[in-house]
């Protein structure tokens, strides 16, 4: 149903459960989740606080093992950190001793094959990072330090850092949660455009249903802990989407529909 | 505004120090305090001029031993701090011993060191080392332990090894903690050397002060105290400057965190 339903499957979760800790004290974070993410698909995961959204991200990126079930990426079982994931969080977590462009270059100093080339070809890599930063509107800020940037700009930088090594999957954990409403909408558009341009697969964790509906091809609603998927909602709004779409009836209907699946008082 | 700030930070301490000495001098004169109890600054200065050569020689000797002990403490403290911050098991294993060791008054250790190594530079260097490495270990371990877990996730998801994370994030962000501890450690190292010299030594400013006090030459004792204070302030200032140069970014960190 979603616009990308013909693309090959990149991530597959099959009856996956996940616990923190062992034995009696173990906390179950994820309960029998099954879902597929197609290549180039933009999925959003929404749900109440503490329901296991971040845990789901850790599971797929291989940062935390499943207790049962299967997680596969490109048909290979996930056994450890994937190395082809870009992550960004609510806090930008930039390194304050590095300039903006040097922050963006950090992943290239870690991931092969860039790691062994970056010393020799620093100028080329730097140009690439600067182009990426220009794409999100940070052209004049590449040599600034993080503290010289606004919160929104820091978050743009953080997303560039997550994208610079051209990961297969971009994982964003409430990336706009700390921003004001206007900045947030600006960044929705920046993310929309950059995903459009690069065709990267995105998993976005968010509290904001409008954000999820505006950006995603499919929205998954999770229940209270232990997190179960209670609703998978394809978003058939045509692309490219303009901010105006958020004021249309079909958009509002989708938001209402999703809201009705989230626990708590109405 | 800038100029005014600089004026305050330079003028205020100088003024205060001058005032303190003036009051001291006047008090001694006014109440005719015996120089064997509390010598006036002028008497201390006179004692310094009289014994200038041995004072400087012995101070340099003490300074040298302090710096050696401090250098060993820095290397050892950094390595142990990394080990403690590296893994919970190392932390659990080492920490109680470390705390216990730090609680032992170092005065009690000096006689043992002298028993083992004889009177000389070695006990002074070891005392300086023993007394000053602890804050370095604690600060380095704290710096490493407080690395944001999300930042670690970002790097681990890229396939970064523990060494990668240590090198790219852990150590750089620990630098402000390290330099803060070095300022404290250098002052403590001084205390260690002089402590050892006052227990048993044949050279060093601590030794000079012990001899002077045996001869009831109180102005000379005070001259020694002043030398120690000046060296302490000087070393502290040098390390503050290095800190500012190396970790200037951290001065902005609070502002950074607020955005
Ligand atoms: N490292 C951890 N150790 C133990 N429990 C954890 C850990 N991380 C998360 N949890 C627990 O797992 C549940 C899900 O957490 P999380 O995935 O972070 O939720 P969300 O991102 O949806 O707010 C929460 O109840 C949380 O307390
Ligand atoms: Mg979370």
Model confidence over A66-98: pLDDT tens digits?
999 999 998 899 988 888 899 999 999 999 999
* B33 is a domain residue: no
B154 and A93 within 8 Å at the Cβ level: the answer is yes
What residues contact A213, with CB distance under 8 A and at least 6 apart?
Answer: A44, A219, A235, A237, A246, A251, A254, A255, A258
Residue A3 in tokens: 């616009």
B168 and A106 within 8 Å at the Cβ level: the answer is yes
Confidence of residue A3 (pLDDT cuts 50, 70, 90): low
Q: Which pLDDT tens digit goes with each residue over A6-37? A: 889 999 999 999 999 888 889 999 999 999 99
Of B157, B172, B247, the CB nearest to A87: B157
What residues contact B161, with CB distance under 8 A and at least 6 apart?
Answer: none
Q: Which pLDDT tens digit goes with each residue over B175-187? A: 999 999 999 999 9
Q: Tell me the average pLDDT across A99-119.
A: 91
What residues contact B55, with CB distance under 8 A and at least 6 apart?
Answer: B48, B205, B208, B223, B224, B227
Q: Quick one: chain B helix, strand, coil %, rounded to 5?
A: 85, 0, 15
* B202 is a domain residue: yes
The per-residue b/e assignment along B127-158, b for 16 or more CB within 10 angstroms, e otherwise, is bbbbbbbbbbbbbbbebbeebeebbbbbbbbb
| Residue A206 CB neighbours (<10 A) | 22
Confidence (pLDDT) at A133: 93
* B14 is a domain residue: no
Taking phi over 0 as left and psi of -120 to 50 as alpha, with beta for the rest, B85 belongs to alpha
How many angstroms does the Cα of residue A29 sit away from the middle of ligand 1?
A: 6
Using the predicted structure, report yes or no on whether residue A100 has a pLDDT greater than 50: yes
* B235 is a domain residue: yes
Phi, psi of A224 (to 5 degrees): -60, 160
B166-225 residues touching A, CB cutoff 8 A: 168-169, 172-173
* B250 is a domain residue: yes
Give SS3 for A251.
Answer: helix
A96 and B250 within 8 Å at the Cβ level: the answer is yes
B159 and A161 within 8 Å at the Cβ level: the answer is no
Confidence (pLDDT) at B255: 40
The nearest CA of chain A is from the CA of B184 a distance in Å of 24
Residue A108, classified by CB atoms within 10 Å of its CB into exposed (0-12), middle (13-18) or buried (19+), is buried
DSSP secondary structure code for residue A203 in this structure = E
| Residue B188 CB neighbours (<10 A) | 24
ipTM value: 0.87
pTM comes to: 0.82
Pair type for strands A42-46 and A218-222: parallel
Residues in chain B, pLDDT under 70: 1-6, 252-259
Q: A264 vs B135, which has greater pLDDT? A: B135
Q: Which pLDDT tens digit goes with each residue over A194-218? A: 999 889 999 999 999 999 999 999 9
Confidence of residue A162 (pLDDT cuts 50, 70, 90): very high
Rounded Cα distance, A134 and A146, in Å? 16
Q: In testing the pocket of ligand 1, which one of A54, A221, A226, A262 has its CB within 8 Å of the most ligand atoms? A: A54
Confidence (pLDDT) at B120: 87
* B38 is a domain residue: no
Q: Which residues line ligand 1 (CB under 6 A)?
A: A 20, 27, 29, 47, 49-55, 225
Residue of A nearest to B176 (CA): A97
Confidence (pLDDT) at B254: 45
| Structural domain range at position B194 | 55-256
Confidence (pLDDT) at A238: 93
CATH number at residue B153: 1.10.3720.10
* B47 is a domain residue: no
Confidence (pLDDT) at B209: 92
Confidence (pLDDT) at B3: 60
* B49 is a domain residue: no
Confidence (pLDDT) at A4: 61
Using the predicted structure, report yes or no on whether residue A1 has a pLDDT greater than 60: no
Task: State how many domains chain B has.
Answer: 1
CB of B256 within 8 Å of any CB in chain A? yes
């Amino acid at each position: 149903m979603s616009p990308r339903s013909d693309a090959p499957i990149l991530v597959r979760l099959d009856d996956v459960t996940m616990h923190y800790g062992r034995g009696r004290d173990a906390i179950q974070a994820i309960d029998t989740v099954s879902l597929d993410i197609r290549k180039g698909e933009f999925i959003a995961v929404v749900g109440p606080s503490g329901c296991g959204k971040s845990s789901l991200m850790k599971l797929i990126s291989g940062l935390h093992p499943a207790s049962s079930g299967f997680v596969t990426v490109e048909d290979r079982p996930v056994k450890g950190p994937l190395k082809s994931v870009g992550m960004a969080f609510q806090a930008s977590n930039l390194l304050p001793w590095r300039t903006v462009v040097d922050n963006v270059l950090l992943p290239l100093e870690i991931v092969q094959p860039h790691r062994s080339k970056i010393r020799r070809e620093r100028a080329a890599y730097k140009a690439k990072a600067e182009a990426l930063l220009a794409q999100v509107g940070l052209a004049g800020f590449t040599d600034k330090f993080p503290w010289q940037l606004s919160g929104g700009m820091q978050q743009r930088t953080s997303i560039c850092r997550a994208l610079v090594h051209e990961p297969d999957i971009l994982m964003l954990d409430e990336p706009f949660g700390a921003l004001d409403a206007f900045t947030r909408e600006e960044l929705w558009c920046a993310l929309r455009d950059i995903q459009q341009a690069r065709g990267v697969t995105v998993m976005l964790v968010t509290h904001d249903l409008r954000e999820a509906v505006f950006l995603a091809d499919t929205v998954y609603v999770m229940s209270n802990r232990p997190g179960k998927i209670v609703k998978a909602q394809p978003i058939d709004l045509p692309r490219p989407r303009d901010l105006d779409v958020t004021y249309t009836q079909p958009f509002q209907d989708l938001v209402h529909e999703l809201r009705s699946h989230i626990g708590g008082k109405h | 505004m800038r100029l005014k700030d600089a004026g305050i930070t330079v003028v205020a301490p100088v003024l205060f120090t001058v005032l303190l000495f003036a009051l001291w001098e006047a008090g001694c004169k006014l109440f005719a305090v015996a120089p064997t109890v509390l010598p006036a600054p002028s008497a201390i200065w006179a004692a310094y001029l009289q014994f200038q050569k041995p004072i400087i020689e012995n101070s340099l000797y003490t300074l040298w031993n302090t710096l050696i002990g401090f250098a060993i403490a820095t290397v050892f403290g950094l390595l142990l701090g990394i080990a403690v911050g590296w893994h919970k098991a190392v932390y659990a294993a080492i920490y109680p011993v470390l705390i216990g060791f730090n609680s032992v008054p170092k005065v009690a250790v000096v006689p043992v060191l002298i028993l083992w190594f004889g009177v000389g530079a070695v006990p002074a260097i070891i005392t300086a080392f023993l007394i000053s490495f602890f804050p370095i270990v604690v600060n380095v371990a704290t710096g490493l332990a407080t690395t944001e877990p999300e930042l670690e996730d970002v790097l681990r998801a890229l396939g970064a090894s523990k060494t990668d994370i240590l090198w790219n994030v852990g150590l750089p962000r620990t630098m402000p903690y390290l330099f803060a501890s070095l300022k404290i450690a250098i002052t403590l190292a001084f205390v260690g050397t002089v402590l050892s010299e006052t227990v048993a030594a044949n050279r060093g400013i601590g030794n000079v002060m012990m001899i002077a006090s045996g001869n009831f030459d109180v102005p000379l004792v005070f001259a020694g105290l002043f030398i120690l204070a000046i060296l302490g302030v000087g070393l502290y200032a040098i390390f503050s400057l290095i800190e500012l140069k190396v970790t200037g970014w951290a001065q902005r960190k609070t502002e950074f965190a607020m955005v």
